[in-house]
Structure 1
Amino acid sequence: MGEAMGAKNAIVVSAAADPAEILRAGLVAEPDSARRAAERRLPGRVGQRLADLPLADAVNPRDAVYAGAFDGLEIVCAWEVVNGRGTDYPDGCPWVGPYRWTYLHVMQSAVDVVEFGVWDRGKLQRWVAASIEHGTAQEGEPLAFERPYWAGEYDVDHSAAPFHPMRLGEAALGALFGFVQEGAPDVDPRFDPFEVTLAGFALT
């Protein structure tokens, strides 16, 4: 069925408008403003500069944080930003940034789990967690791209969820941010993530 494999990411975005429309411009992060964006998410943890990476690679940082602060959008990629948040944040968003909309996307193909969320001025609009072993949890109304998944159009026998979580994860990545990692048959990317560059920093 074309399930996405090998995909892993930890992304938090604050945006004034559709993130894909901003990111598709082929942006290059300015280091000082990127550092400030990273420090907003990880105060006291942002260390020395590392080599920049394209967004395609920066979404899965290893002992590092990659960030960009652009006109109308901040993006921070770091596992430390999303780890340890537990189940508290569907009722309150810890990632509210300088812009109206907050987006979360976390995906790990090794254990077939995905989580994504959307907040408007800190108020939850949609949150989904899906695991091939444990099924699903959700808050808010399904977004348009999700509806075929919940309707059973992508049902698989070996998943506790009514779809393969990684396939939904790729669809969410494409719908929320405009790009994909491994791809999915029903996702049409809006830009090439190798054409956006984020600034890298070590974590202390």
Structure 2
Amino acid sequence: MSATVSTLWYVDAPDPVAVLREFSPDRDAARALLSRLFPEFQVDPGARVPLADAGGTGEDDGAEQFRVGSYPGVTVVSSPRFALRHPSELPTMWLRTPAAERTCLLASDPAGAWGSFAVWECGRLRRGFGANTVEFFEDQGIPFVWERPFWAGEHPLRWPPNVPPPPESLPFHPRKLVEEAHGAWLGFRYVGRRDDELDPRNIDTWSFTLRTPVPQISVPAPKTSWWRRLAAH
């Protein structure tokens, strides 16, 4: 499992995967969203990028980068801002603009061996989860039905030979649970994709860079000398 993921999804469509299969992302709508979220910044559009390649989004020469895919009834924003071990701590600004029927945060960090997800329904947190292989960061709300096999021990962690698992270790790898959340909520997985599922390499986003606007320096108009004013009369 090697996909680095830190995305926020706004879902109003009843079948988001059908939307992602059928439509192309709207660059102008994506740019307008970032402009509403960050009115103090200049939003510069870039290239079209597959969602599967958006995990490295970060800063370029001090300017923050985002990947945004704006589809009818489905919008995804990719940014390191969403790599939250406690996903319920997502700033409320992200729940208000835009206001969606369902907002999903999904994060997966291969290097740290941790994963997290959360879902808000009409702006209210329903479920929040974050953990590494031996420690819970957050576990709020009632688990979904699709989580049950993981908690029941049907997807056990595999430890190296001759390495006894810590007694407090989870009964599953948290990043696998994040992949299951992708499949349940959005109809695709980065790792362990089923044959009938959408390939994230076929989900496109637009790249954007946020820059601080260069202040405009006003130059005063040259004063007209007294004899020129006199000649004008």
Q: TM-score, normalised by structure 2?
A: 0.73
RMSD over aligned CA atoms reads 2.6
Q: Of 8, 26, 31, which aligns to 1:30?
A: 26
User: What is the Cα deviation at residue 99 of structure 1?
Assistant: 2.3
The unaligned stretches of length 5 or more in structure 2 are: 60-64, 160-164, 212-233
Cα distance 1:190–1:199, how it changes in 2: closer, same or farther (>3 A)? same
Total equivalences in the alignment:
195
Checking the alignment, whether the CA contact within 8 Å between 2:99 and 2:123 is kept in structure 1 is: no
For 1:177, the equivalent position in structure 2 comes to 186
Q: Secondary structure at the match of 2:201?
A: helix
For 1:89, the equivalent position in structure 2 comes to 89
Q: Secondary structure at the match of 1:95?
A: helix
For residues 138 and 148 of structure 1, what CA distance do their matches in structure 2 show? 17
Checking the alignment, whether the CA contact within 8 Å between 1:15 and 1:101 is kept in structure 2 is: yes
Instruction: Please say which of residues 120-129 and 92-101 is displaced more in the overlay.
Output: 92-101
1:19 aligns with 2:21: no
Query: Max radius of gyration: which structure?
Result: 2
Q: TM-score, normalised by structure 1?
A: 0.82
Q: Of 183, 188, 195, which aligns to 2:202?
A: 195
Cα distance 1:39–1:105, how it changes in 2: closer, same or farther (>3 A)? farther
For 2:177, the equivalent position in structure 1 comes to 168
Cα distance 1:84–1:195, how it changes in 2: closer, same or farther (>3 A)? closer
After TM superposition, the structure 1 = structure 2 runs for residues 21-170 of structure 1, keeping only pairs within 5 Å, are: 21-25=18-22, 27-45=23-41, 47-63=43-59, 64-80=65-81, 82=82, 89=89, 93-96=92-95, 97-135=98-136, 137-156=138-157, 158=165, 160-170=169-179
Cα distance 1:46–1:109, how it changes in 2: closer, same or farther (>3 A)? farther
Checking the alignment, whether the CA contact within 8 Å between 1:102 and 1:122 is kept in structure 2 is: yes
Q: Secondary structure at the match of 2:149?
A: helix
| 1:180 partner amino acid | R
Q: State the percentage of identical aligned residues.
A: 30
For residues 38 and 19 of structure 2, what CA distance do their matches in structure 1 show? 24
The unaligned stretches of length 5 or more in structure 1 are: none
Cα distance 1:20–1:43, how it changes in 2: closer, same or farther (>3 A)? farther
User: What is the Cα deviation at residue 164 of structure 1?
Assistant: 1.1
Instruction: Please say which of residues 13-22 and 105-114 is displaced more in the overlay.
Output: 13-22
| 1:89 partner amino acid | E
